[in-house]
A and B are shown apart, each in its own frame.
Chain A
Amino acid sequence: MKALSISPRLAIAAGLVALFVAIPLVYIFIRAFGADTESWQRLLQTRIWKLLGNTLLLVVAVTSGTLVTGVSMAWLTERTDLPGRKIFRWMLVMPLAIPAYIGGIVYLALLRPRGGYIPQVLENIFGQSVFTPSPLGFFGAAFILTLFTYPYVYLLSGAAFRSLHASLEEAARTFGRTTFQTLFQVTLPALRPGLAAGALLVALDILAEYGTVALLRYETFSSAIFVQLSGRYDRSAASVLSGILVTLAILILWSELRLQGQARFTQMESNWRPAPLTLLGKWRFPAFLLVMGVISASLIIPVAVLVVWSIQAFLDSQSLTTIFHTGSQGFGSYVWNSLWSSGLAALIAVLFSLPVALLAVRYPNRFSRFISRFCQVGYAIPGVVIALSLVLFVNRTLPFLYATPFVIVIAYVLRHMPQAIRASESALNQLSPSLEEASRTLGRTSLQTLFQVTLPLILPGLLAGGSLVFITSLKELPATLLLRPPGFDTLAVRVWVWAGEGFYLQAAPAALLLVLISALPLSFLLRREKIFR
């Protein structure tokens, strides 16, 4: 790549975005490592090692779980003659529209050791209590989080399976490898960088997860910080814990960014042709059942339960009035709050991502690469930590913003902008620079070129990035809970509060609507891929 001299305007704009992104990071590290030694010692002696163990255990378990589930589902739907694989491709991705804590709520209501639906039904039938697996604790949390995060890995590995050269596997076959030897000795190793990058993104997601682990009473760094912030209100302890969590997350993000660079070689080449399908033979039916099992657990059961509860809620006049009228607020205002805060965050994130992506793609050098990577640090800062740093920062420097919904929007932008940056970069990467150069030689300035050529052509990519930010902001729970001004309720907040109080029927319509609103942009995203059309 030839390095052009960087445009100063662009560099300044990207630098400002980087400064904005630096706020929570710098604040957390100042507070964490500036905390008095007493806080550190107290935490080191009591909490930290337990929390670290819990957190890492969950991260490792869920990451492995999603890898196994995601890759095997992708292999079955992309590379075998599995019946119904076209529909399965859609259904295997759709759990992305269900926030994990909503899945957790459903399974908790179904399987709770005392008072869960299934244990009760079984007790009525058999006249005595029957053992059922509990969704609480480590195993429950690992199970639920795997169910609702494996689609990330599924999407990445599906794309990787599709883009891999058929000749690579054919070469292995000519050297005497069987189908399965080829899969494990050639195909999967070749896809490794891409899969590892996907797994690390899942790991970051789990580090940041609050709702599910709090619900299922499994303590991790995120939930401990949340308790310190909301209950005990010990900002010093929260800062120390956040400092450790963010350091851990940055290490993971750093490896992920390094792997991103290596993942290139799986890209499609011009003489690409699809690999022949593996015939499952007598394994067709078991494989079909396996995929059906995954889809039932992650999509059909939660959605069906939410639908049944919603119907019950609408039939019950008391819960109906509560849904549509809690205090002075109605259902409409939750929906509206969710939509505008997430929509605004998506818009700002896309706008901010533009200078960063333009700089990184059009002027590749050390400086621009650093800016681009640094601006993705939001991946490594969990919602609770963003909330903590914004509470501290806004209180001190921008008091007029304190306790306004705009702080929430800022939190969404900080946390989810990396997705917009990646989408913008990939859109720009697919746009030949010669188009912009042609526009210059035909008499347009660089700014006119941006508006008349670059932006119209990368618009679909920008929309995709915006959709991702929108979906993830919509379900963002901890930052919203901690930063919201009194009376500012979103769908996610209402679902959480009602379910926490045990009013599942009331929570169901809001949860169902949240899922539906997320499913729309998600299907837009999927339709961009040829395979989902």
Chain B
Amino acid sequence: MTTLEVRNLVKQFHGSQQSAVNDISFELSDGEILAVVGPSGCGKTTTLRLIAGLERPDSGVIRLNNHVVAAESVFIPPEKRGVGMVFQDHALFPHLTVYENVAFGLRGKKTSEVRTIVGDMLHLVGLLQFSKRYPHALSGGERQRVALARALAPHPVLILMDEPFSSLDADLRTEVREHVRSILKSRQATVVFVTHDQDEALYMGDRLAVLQKGHLEQIGTPQEIFHDSNTRFVAEFMGDSDFLKGKVVPGGIQTEIGLLNQVVELPISTPVEIAIRADDIDFQIDGSGNSLIVERFFRGAFNLYRLRLDSGQILHAFTDHTQILPVGARVRAYIHVEHSLTVFSE
């Protein structure tokens, strides 16, 4: 069943040339987590706020559980939409205890019922013993979990999360996101999760939506987005791709470092770019090779090399950590792939 439907959403702010959100459409099924990812200013947070009802769209339609909540002549205010939101700064009410924060969205319910729900929620996020504390006495990770419990407590049809982990330290972030994802999945929550971190998006999302300058560039599973990018932007943004120039020839694409055996539906001799990652390239020391080691970066489990081809093109390549090659050495680089690569015509 479709929980959220967004159609042709447009929002432009006063005094801005460009639309913050420009004709975005997508759907979200029950129990699905959609990670919306893009660089800052791409419109991901605005999209979230439009769904929450914190901003009014210029045009477009938003449906929640098949009810129109925003359209040309309809605007349901946030308090009547039944969505839960987790804010970037957590937005815990500093004048209320943890218990009162979680109970804030449960107005109109019987006291005994409120007590049960809040107890369940705090148990779920593992903070039952902190219910009498005030937010300032909690750590960043604990605040994060209270914010989640508060958003989940009224049993909203949809949970919106706006960069919820960005205020946490890097090592805490990985731990918290595993915990949060398992909580969301155990509740079978439907979630729109906004982040600027590709890694986090790949981890959190059942599907990913990549935004740029207000446009939806691509929506799909993490695998699709990573290995089969629709646009050069997505390839560039999602993984540290280099773009290797080439030309379509019969049977593949001719590049500076050899032939890529991949048939593309483009006319012969079309100039193209291949999105290629460090794990798709191998190289060996070779005095008459095609490139030069410019720099070596030690990355723990492996070494990452920056190679300069004779044309000046820069490529990156991995080797395992036992093998250390000197900077300045001449090497022969070649394509080494077992999956198809994404090709863009120029």
Contact = CB atoms under 8 A, between A and B. Distances in A.
Do the two chains bind?
Answer: yes
A321 interface: no
B54 interface: yes
A435 to B, nearest CB: 5
B85 interface: yes
Nearest to A444: B79
A432 interface: yes
B84 interface: yes
A435 B91 contact: yes
Contact of B104 (A434, A439, A457): A439
A440 B54 contact: yes
A3 interface: yes
Contact of A3 (B15, B78, B89): B15
B228 interface: no
Contacts of B55: 2, 4
Nearest to A448: B79
Contacts of A444: 79, 107
Given A440-B78, A445-B77, A434 B88 contact: yes
Interface residues of B, number: 30
Contacts of B150: 438, 442
B302 to A, nearest CB: 34
B87 A438 contact: yes
Contacts of B81: 441
Interface in A74-132: none
Interface string A1-31: 0111100000000000000000000000000
**By CB atoms of chain A within 10 A, which of B78, B89, B105 has the most?**
B78
Query: Which applies to chain B's interface (DSSP): helix, strand, loop or mixed?
Result: loop
Contacts of B15: 3
B85 A437 contact: yes
A440 B77 contact: yes
Contacts of A482: none
A440 B56 contact: no
B13 A432 contact: no
Interface string B313-345: 000000000000000000000000000000000
Contact of A441 (B78, B89, B93, B107): B78
Contacts of B91: 432, 434-435, 437-438
Given A4-B55, A435-B93, A440 B79 contact: yes
Interface residues on chain A, size class: 20 to 34
Interface string A368-379: 000000000000
Contact of B87 (A2, A4, A434, A457): A434
A441 B85 contact: yes
A363 B76 CA distance: 20
A440 B53 contact: yes
B64 interface: no
A167 B95 CA distance: 35
Given A432-B89, A438-B91, A443 B154 contact: yes
B79 A445 contact: yes
B13 A3 contact: yes
A159 B252 CA distance: 69
A446 B107 CA distance: 15
Nearest to B45: A2
Nearest to B156: A441
A82 B12 CA distance: 56
Given A440-B78, A445-B77, A457 B56 contact: no
A434 B163 CA distance: 13
Contacts of A5: 56
B78 A437 contact: yes
Interface string A300-312: 0000000000000
A442 B87 contact: no
A9 to B, nearest CB: 13
Interface string A354-374: 000000000001000000000
Contacts of A457: 93-95
Contacts of A432: 89, 91
A365 B54 contact: no
A442 B94 contact: no
**By CB atoms of chain B within 10 A, which of A2, A441, A457 has the most?**
A441
B83 interface: yes
A231 interface: no
Contacts of B160: 441
A3 B15 CA distance: 9
A456 interface: yes
Interface in A433-464: 434-435, 437-446, 453, 456-457
A504 to B, nearest CB: 49
B107 to A, nearest CB: 6
B14 A365 contact: yes
A119 B56 CA distance: 75
Nearest to B104: A442
B201 interface: no
Contact of A434 (B14, B56, B89, B151): B89
B53 to A, nearest CB: 7
Contacts of B151: 441
Nearest to B14: A3
Contact of B93 (A4, A365, A443, A453): A453
A88 to B, nearest CB: 32
B204 interface: no
B146 to A, nearest CB: 12
A2 B87 CA distance: 17
Contacts of B78: 437, 440-441
Contacts of B9: none
A510 B150 CA distance: 55
Contacts of A445: 77, 79
Contacts of A438: 85, 87, 91, 93, 150
A443 B81 CA distance: 8
A71 B170 CA distance: 43
Interface string B95-109: 100000000110100
Given A438-B85, A444-B107, 17 more contacts: A2-B13, A3-B13, A432-B91, A434-B88, A435-B91, A437-B52, A437-B85, A438-B87, A438-B91, A440-B53, A441-B52, A441-B78, A441-B85, A442-B79, A442-B105, A445-B77, A457-B94
30 contacts: A2-B55, A3-B13, A4-B55, A432-B91, A434-B91, A435-B91, A435-B93, A437-B52, A437-B54, A437-B78, A437-B85, A437-B87, A438-B85, A438-B93, A439-B93, A439-B104, A440-B54, A441-B52, A441-B54, A441-B83, A441-B85, A441-B160, A442-B84, A442-B105, A443-B105, A443-B107, A445-B77, A456-B95, A457-B93, A457-B94
Listed from nearest, the 9 A-B pairs whose CB atoms lie closest are A442-B105, A434-B91, A440-B78, A438-B91, A434-B87, A441-B85, A3-B14, A443-B79, A435-B91
